[in-house]
């Protein structure tokens, strides 16, 4: 699955992307804001990530600039890292942006594209979170229409090597429009 926005191309992550992905994420300032990426982040971690099987209902994307194909970051949907949510639990929106691209609106632009694709795929609700000490991510989530649940929970962060408080959000998605009914 591919998606083009005004400035970005979201595309599947391929094995040959491991070096570019590694170059963007191998930054402690990026990894500490993620739940599942380890620190230090090694080249093998990037190779392992790009080798993960694709799930057509929970796609992951490499975010690249449309103008020059430069890697900006990654985004996608996946099961929440928290155990015990159940098989029917909503998917979680995740993303990271490489430090040179922070503050340019790429996370919001890519997130809006993922929301559109999630709606097209039939998802009705998504969840998301950000660590309390990363308010910029909360700003992105609110711009995307996510609403705080009022809950702050400790979440595991591999990059931090421990739990940290995270603000939880949810976003209801509109049902896709029904095809026009034929007039009788």
Domain of 120 in residue numbering reads as: 3-125
Does a structural domain hold residue 49?
A: yes
- CB atoms under 10 Å from CB of 127, counted, come to 18
pLDDT, tens digit (0-9, with 9 covering 90-100), for 80-138: 865 455 667 899 999 999 999 999 999 999 999 999 999 999 999 999 999 999 999 99
Task: Say what angle helices 18-25 and 43-50 make with each other, to 10 degrees.
Answer: 120
Residue 134 lies in a domain: no
Q: Residue 174: its pLDDT value, please?
A: 86
Peptide bond into 67 cis (omega under 30): no
Residue 99 lies in a domain: yes
Which three-class secondary structure state does DSSP give residue 53?
coil
- Residue 135 falls inside a structural domain: no
Count of the separate structural domains present in the chain: 1
CA distance readout (Å), 43 to 26, 106, 144? 9, 24, 32
| Inter-helix orientation angle 135-143/106-120, to 10° | 50
The answer to whether position 45 is within a domain reads yes
What is the rounded average pLDDT of the residues 47-58? 96
Question: For the chain, what is the mean pLDDT?
Answer: 93
The domain that holds 47 is classified in CATH as 3.40.630.30
User: Dihedral of CA 102/63/142/87: which sign?
Assistant: negative
pLDDT score at 182: 47
Domain contains 85: yes
154 in a structural domain? no
Q: What percent of the chain has pLDDT over 70?
A: 91
Do the Cβ atoms of 140 and 108 come closer than 8 Å? Answer: yes
Please give the Cα distance from 129 to 90 (Å, whole number). Answer: 13
Q: Under 8 Å CB-to-CB from 139, ≥6 apart: which residues?
A: none
In a domain, residue 87? The reply is: yes
């Amino acid at each position: 699955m591919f998606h083009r926005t005004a400035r970005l191309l979201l595309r599947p992550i391929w094995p040959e992307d491991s070096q570019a992905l590694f170059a963007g994420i191998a930054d402690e300032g990026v990894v500490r804001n993620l739940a599942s990426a380890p620190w230090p982040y090694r080249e093998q971690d990037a190779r392992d990530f790009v080798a993960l099987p694709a799930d057509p209902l929970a796609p992951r994307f490499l975010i690249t600039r449309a103008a020059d194909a430069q890697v900006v970051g990654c985004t996608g949907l996946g099961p929440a890292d928290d155990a015990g949510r159940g098989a029917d639990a909503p998917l979680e929106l995740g993303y990271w942006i490489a430090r040179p691209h922070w503050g340019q609106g790429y996370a919001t632009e890519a997130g809006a594209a993922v929301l559109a694709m999630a709606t097209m795929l039939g998802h009705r609700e998504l969840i998301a979170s950000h660590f309390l000490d990363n308010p910029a991510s909360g700003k992105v989530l609110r711009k995307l229409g996510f609403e705080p649940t009022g809950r702050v929970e400790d979440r595991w962060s591999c990059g931090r090597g421990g739990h940290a408080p995270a603000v939880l959000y949810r976003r209801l998605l509109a049902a896709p429009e029904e095809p026009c009914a034929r007039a009788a």
